[in-house]
């Protein structure tokens, strides 16, 4: 006990010092930063197009162990690709309003650590898929990862207005992976679903890019809404939407589905095309985003894909 007027003992040089108390807030921030590198919202969307296809391929409920291995492997693979993307794009992410709160622009994680993290996720995902699913699914996952990193992020994104059209191919692979996880081989059915996602990606991404076109313009990324007027973006969105809906309906004869899937696809497609046309009409003669309302179509696109693939899963269970 130390009394008033007494001096406290002074630690002598070389005496052991108390260990610093870990800052739980700092730990949570770092963990959250690493999770953020994987872009969890993107992972959710990719898994949404994986699991329903497994139900469709099984024509019923696939084994829980197989679903779990495919989901874990797919999530790790997608997280790896996103983390690589964050490392490569950290220079422009720091300048864009939409992305400047990510881990690397805020310097919560170093580029080197993020690179190691991405590589570990990629290796583990490949092992999980190869051992507990099958080598074909693992190879497709590696191909999707490589195309997203080298094809889209490093080659296309900063060079062409068609960046998301062809770069979006990487996001189509989960439909193939879900099918091959169950069957061990490719077929026309997953190819149709692959193409649905392919034609869905430009309307979905261009709507978001229209909302943040100033961000993309400031960092010289030639997204279509940066180099073309809003009316032209709207026109191309309508065209892609029409092809997307037609492709989605092609699954009915190709896969001999019941009536649930084509009915849902037709209704969802009609609503989506209507929203695309309305946005195009609002974009004619104005560049005012408050009038164009691109995020309305963006949110509709998420709902469209979610419900369409739910119908893919439900159709074989009901018929």
Give the pLDDT of residue 25.
54
120-146 pLDDT, tens digit per residue, is: 999 999 999 999 999 999 999 999 999
Give the pLDDT of residue 19.
43
Q: How far is CA 60 from the centre of its chain?
A: 26
User: Per the domain annotation, does 25 fall within a domain?
Assistant: no
Q: Tell me: do 227 and 175 sit in the same domain.
A: no
* CATH number of the domain to which 71 belongs: 1.10.357.140
Q: Looking up tokens 């080598």, which residue turns up?
A: 135
**Which of 160, 183, 206 lies at the terminal end of a domain, its last residue?**
183
Q: Looking up tokens 């893919």, which residue turns up?
A: 312
**Which of 146, 165, 183 lies at the terminal end of a domain, its last residue?**
183
Contact between 100 and 135 (Cβ < 8 Å): no
Q: Tell me: do 205 and 120 sit in the same domain.
A: no
Work out the average pLDDT over 275-282: 98
Q: Write out the two tokens for 195.
A: 């193409």
- The torsion of the CA quartet 109, 110, 116, 122, rounded to 10 degrees, works out to 50
Q: Tell me: do 247 and 140 sit in the same domain.
A: no
Give the pLDDT of residue 166.
92
Q: Tell me: do 132 and 191 sit in the same domain.
A: no
User: Per the domain annotation, does 69 fall within a domain?
Assistant: yes
Q: Give the least confident one: 33-37, 41-45, 265-269.
A: 41-45
Contact between 50 and 177 (Cβ < 8 Å): yes
Does residue 317 surpass a pLDDT of 50?
yes
Q: Tell me: do 268 and 170 sit in the same domain.
A: no
Domain count, the chain: 2
Give burial (CB, 10 Å; 0-12/13-18/19+) of 172. Answer: buried
Does residue 219 surpass a pLDDT of 70?
yes
183-215 pLDDT, tens digit per residue, is: 999 999 999 999 999 999 999 999 999 999 999
Q: Tell me: do 144 and 200 sit in the same domain.
A: no
Q: Which domain holds residue 238?
A: 187-319
Helix (H, G, I), strand (E, B) or coil at 284: coil
User: Per the domain annotation, does 294 fall within a domain?
Assistant: yes
Nearest alpha carbon to residue 223 among 241, 239, 209, 204: 209
User: Per the domain annotation, does 7 fall within a domain?
Assistant: no
Confidence of residue 26 (pLDDT cuts 50, 70, 90): confident
- Alpha-carbon span 197 to 191, nearest angstrom: 10
Q: Looking up tokens 């290796």, which residue turns up?
A: 123
Work out the average pLDDT over 58-65: 96
**Which of 133, 166, 183 lies at the terminal end of a domain, its last residue?**
183
Q: Tell me: do 259 and 151 sit in the same domain.
A: no
* DSSP annotation string for 148-208: IIIIIIIIITTT-TTHHHHHGGGGGHHHHHHHHHHHSS--HHHHHHHHHHHHHHHHHHHHH
Q: Tell me: do 164 and 228 sit in the same domain.
A: no
Q: Tell me: do 49 and 177 sit in the same domain.
A: yes
Give the pLDDT of residue 316.
93
Q: Tell me: do 129 and 202 sit in the same domain.
A: no
Mean pLDDT of the chain: 92
Nearest alpha carbon to residue 56 among 41, 67, 45, 43: 67
28-31 CB contacts, 8 Å cutoff, 24+ apart: 29/108, 30/108, 30/109
Q: Tell me: do 147 and 287 sit in the same domain.
A: no
Comparing 285 with 114, the larger pLDDT belongs to 114
Q: Tell me: do 102 and 146 sit in the same domain.
A: yes
Work out the average pLDDT over 233-245: 98
Sheet strands (E) in the chain = none
């Amino acid at each position: 006990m130390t009394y008033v007027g007494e001096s406290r003992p002074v630690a002598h040089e070389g005496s052991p010092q108390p260990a610093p108390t870990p800052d739980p807030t700092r730990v949570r921030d770092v963990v959250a930063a690493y999770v953020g590198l994987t872009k969890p919202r993107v992972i959710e969307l990719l898994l949404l197009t994986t699991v329903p296809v497994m139900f469709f391929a099984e024509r019923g409920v696939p084994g829980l162990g197989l679903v779990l291995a495919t989901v874990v492997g797919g999530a790790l693979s997608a997280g790896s690709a996103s983390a690589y993307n964050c490392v490569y794009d950290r220079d422009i992410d720091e300048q864009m309003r939409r992305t400047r709160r990510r881990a690397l622009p805020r310097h919560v994680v170093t580029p080197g650590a993020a690179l190691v993290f991405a590589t570990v996720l990629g290796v583990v995902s490949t092992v999980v898929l190869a051992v507990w699913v099958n080598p074909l699914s693992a190879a497709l996952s590696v191909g999707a990862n490589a195309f997203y990193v080298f094809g889209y992020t490093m080659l296309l994104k900063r060079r062409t207005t068609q960046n998301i059209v062809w770069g979006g191919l990487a996001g189509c692979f989960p439909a193939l992976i879900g099918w091959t996880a169950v069957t061990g081989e490719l077929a026309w059915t997953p190819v149709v679903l692959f193409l649905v996602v392919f034609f869905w990606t430009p309307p979905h991404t261009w709507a978001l890019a229209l909302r943040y076109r100033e961000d993309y313009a400031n960092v010289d990324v030639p997204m279509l809404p940066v180099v073309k007027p809003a009316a032209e973006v709207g026109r191309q969105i309508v065209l892609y939407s029409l092809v997307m809906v037609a492709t989605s309906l092609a699954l009915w004869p190709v896969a001999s589905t019941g009536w649930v899937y084509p009915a849902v696809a037709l209704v969802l497609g009609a609503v989506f095309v209507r929203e695309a046309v309305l946005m195009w009409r609002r974009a004619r003669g104005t560049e005012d985003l408050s009038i164009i309302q691109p995020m309305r179509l963006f949110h509709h696109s998420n709902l469209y894909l979610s419900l369409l693939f739910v119908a893919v899963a439900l159709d074989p269970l009901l018929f």
